[in-house]
DNA sequence: ATATTAAGTGACACGATGTCATAAGTCAAT
DNA sequence: ATTGACTTATGACATCGTGTCACTTAATAT
């Protein structure tokens, strides 16, 4: 996390710095982004940067958090609008992100993040849907919004795993679209097939229930 | 891929170099591994390294490929032994990798890889189960070994997606175990829950079939 | 023997990182 | 207004890593 000094900055300077960082992380993936470029863009000295952040990773993950926080709010809103229909909400989030990632130029930052997935980044996306695992209420917040009657689970633990599964599969579909340059139609069709499979189950045995 | 010069090397020298690279990639994740250390360990000059590989990434992904090729062979063998039971084979692979990743010291290399997942690395793991997507026969090779009667699919395309789903979920369970330092029992229990959910389906609607 | 091609070398230019001594700014108390 | 304590800002610097290249050595063909 950024230091307190960073949060003490006046809004203008802080915004300018974040914008500079985002621009640099949009230009190049984390490993190739350089602090020199960020400070040049932000018009601050190298030393200052290190007073705000531990290093470029620190800045990167903070930016990523800002992005996913925004999308988490959107996901929760969707759940409400769609009367707790989890699959429909995931579907909508996937479609929205597809569009965002292709259209909004400044989201090149997110593209770079998604294509260069450390487990920390995948965690960020898990949090998008599930909230921070350390905050017990966050999972409940989602669970309370979801219409559990439509979901094939017997307890809260299983709900957690349902979300984990949906997140992994959704996330991988996003990565696929980006890395293989699929068209939106293809990406949505692939996603739909997998969500159907997830819904109805992979094994035939369950039909005997 | 390594250059032809690399493959012309005599077995001893090539092995020594690969061993050195693996040792360095076990010491530190890709981004922090250094060519200087590799060439020191291998007893070759810096210039030579660049005659064999494009850079450290090249060496890294080649090593990763050697590892996943080995495991792919194991997966195919399992499918045969278990009469095409896909879920049982995935389960066995997961358990085996858990043990390998905790016991074999030299697999620290794989740990570093798994925890630092670029989409290329996730692709490598997808190939583990599915073969190279460019080689059409590879998917068929798996499909022919799998007992399709147990799987809830209607065509080959769906089979492909089933494998994609299973790979993502299995892989994320591996990452989880490593990054959260779960015990084997916990990891296996989590994995079992998710595989059960995948088997029976996430939505209740399907019970009406 | 000589020429040609392949393999091996390490010094070097370049760029990036993280630190640190020092300077500049802020502000409350006197 | 001055002091002093504290916070913020700076950029030069030491260190390290990368990729290249002119050159040497080895191998092979003629």
Give per-residue pLDDT as tens, B162-205: 999 999 999 999 999 988 999 999 999 999 999 999 999 999 86
**What is the pLDDT averaged over residues A95-123?**
84
Predicted local distance difference test score (pLDDT) of residue B205: 66
B52 CA to chain A: closest CA distance, Å? 23
B8 touches strand C (CB under 7 A): yes
**Which pLDDT band holds residue B208 (cuts at 50, 70, 90)?**
very low
| Among A184-193, B20-29, B83-92, B105-114, the least confident range | B105-114
**Which pLDDT band holds residue B105 (cuts at 50, 70, 90)?**
low
**Which pLDDT band holds residue B44 (cuts at 50, 70, 90)?**
very high
Predicted local distance difference test score (pLDDT) of residue B67: 92
Burial class (CB in 10 A: 0-12, 13-18, 19+), A201: buried
**Cα–Cα distance between A53 and A55 in angstroms, integer?**
5
Q: What is the mean pLDDT of chain A?
A: 92
Give B63 CA → D12 C1' in Å: 41
Predicted local distance difference test score (pLDDT) of residue B152: 93
Spell out which residues of A between 46 and 105 contact strand C, using CB within 7 Å.
46-47, 50, 55-56
**Cα–Cα distance between B121 and B99 in angstroms, integer?**
20
Q: Which residue has the higher pLDDT, B136 or A102?
A: A102
Rounded to 5 degrees, φ, ψ at B203 are: -100, 145
Predicted local distance difference test score (pLDDT) of residue A43: 97
pLDDT at B66 over 60: yes
Predicted local distance difference test score (pLDDT) of residue B121: 84
Among the partner residues B168, B190, B206, nearest to A169 by beta-carbon distance: B168
Contact A21, A60 (CB under 8 A): yes
| Residue B8: other Cβ atoms inside 10 A | 9
**Cα–Cα distance between B173 and B179 in angstroms, integer?**
10
Give per-residue pLDDT as tens, A115-156: 887 788 888 888 999 888 777 788 899 999 999 999 999 999
A86 CA to chain B: closest CA distance, Å? 10
B3 CA to chain A: closest CA distance, Å? 24
pLDDT at A58 over 70: yes
| Among A29-33, A72-76, A140-144, B115-119, the least confident range | B115-119
Q: Which nucleotides of C are covered by protein (CB under 7 A)?
A: 6-12, 15-21
pLDDT at B85 over 90: yes
Residue B203, Ramachandran bin (φ over 0: left; ψ between -120 and 50: alpha; else beta): beta
- B198 contacts chain A (CB < 8 A): yes
Predicted local distance difference test score (pLDDT) of residue A107: 80
**What is the pLDDT averaged over residues B27-35?**
96
**What is the pLDDT averaged over residues A17-41?**
96
**What is the pLDDT averaged over residues B86-108?**
89
Give B184 CA → C18 C1' in Å: 39
**Which pLDDT band holds residue B55 (cuts at 50, 70, 90)?**
very high
**Cα–Cα distance between B40 and B47 in angstroms, integer?**
12
**Which pLDDT band holds residue A208 (cuts at 50, 70, 90)?**
very low
Residues of B in contact with A122 (CB under 8 A): 117, 172, 175
Structure tokens at A88: 């429909």
Q: Among B94, B106, B17, which Cα is nearest to B58's?
A: B17
Predicted local distance difference test score (pLDDT) of residue A206: 55
Burial class (CB in 10 A: 0-12, 13-18, 19+), B43: exposed
**Cα–Cα distance between B161 and A52 in angstroms, integer?**
44
Residue B48, Ramachandran bin (φ over 0: left; ψ between -120 and 50: alpha; else beta): alpha
Q: Which residue has the higher pLDDT, B8 or A116?
A: B8
Residue A10: nearest nucleotide (C-alpha to C1') = D8
- The residues facing B116 across adjacent strands are none
**Cα–Cα distance between A89 and A67 in angstroms, integer?**
18
Instruction: Indicate the pTM of the whole model.
Output: 0.93
| Among A91-105, B33-47, B151-165, the least confident range | A91-105
Residue B201, Ramachandran bin (φ over 0: left; ψ between -120 and 50: alpha; else beta): left
pLDDT at A207 over 60: no
Structure tokens at A172: 């991988």
Contacts (Cβ under 8 Å, ≥6 apart) of B99: B184
- B168 contacts chain A (CB < 8 A): yes
Predicted local distance difference test score (pLDDT) of residue A209: 45
- 3-state SS, one letter per residue, for B32-84: CCCHHHHHHHHCCCHHHHHHHCCCHHHHHHHHHHHHHHHHHHHHHHHHHHCCC
């Amino acid at each position: 996390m950024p230091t307190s000094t960073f949060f003490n900055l006046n809004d203008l300077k802080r915004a300018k710095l974040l914008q500079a960082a985002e621009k640099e992380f949009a230009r190049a993936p984390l490993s190739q982004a350089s602090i020199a470029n960020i400070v040049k863009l932000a018009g601050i000295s190298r030393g200052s940067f290190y007073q705000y952040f531990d290093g470029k990773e620190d800045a990167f993950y903070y930016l990523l958090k800002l992005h996913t926080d925004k999308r988490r709010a959107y996901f929760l809103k969707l759940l409400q609008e769609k009367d707790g229909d989890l699959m429909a909400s995931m579907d909508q989030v996937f479609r929205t992100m597809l569009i965002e990632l292709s259209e909004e130029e400044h989201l090149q930052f997110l593209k770079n993040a998604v294509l260069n997935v450390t487990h920390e980044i995948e965690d960020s996306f898990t949090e998008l849907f599930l909230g921070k695992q350390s905050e017990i209420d966050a999972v409940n917040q989602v669970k309370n919004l979801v219409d559990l009657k439509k979901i094939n689970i017997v307890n809260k633990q299983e709900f957690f795993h349902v979300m984990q599964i949906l997140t992994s599969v959704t996330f991988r579909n996003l990565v696929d679209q980006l890395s293989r340059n699929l068209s939106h139609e293809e990406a949505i069709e692939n996603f739909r097939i997998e969500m159907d499979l997830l819904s109805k189950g992979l094994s035939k045995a369950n039909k005997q229930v």
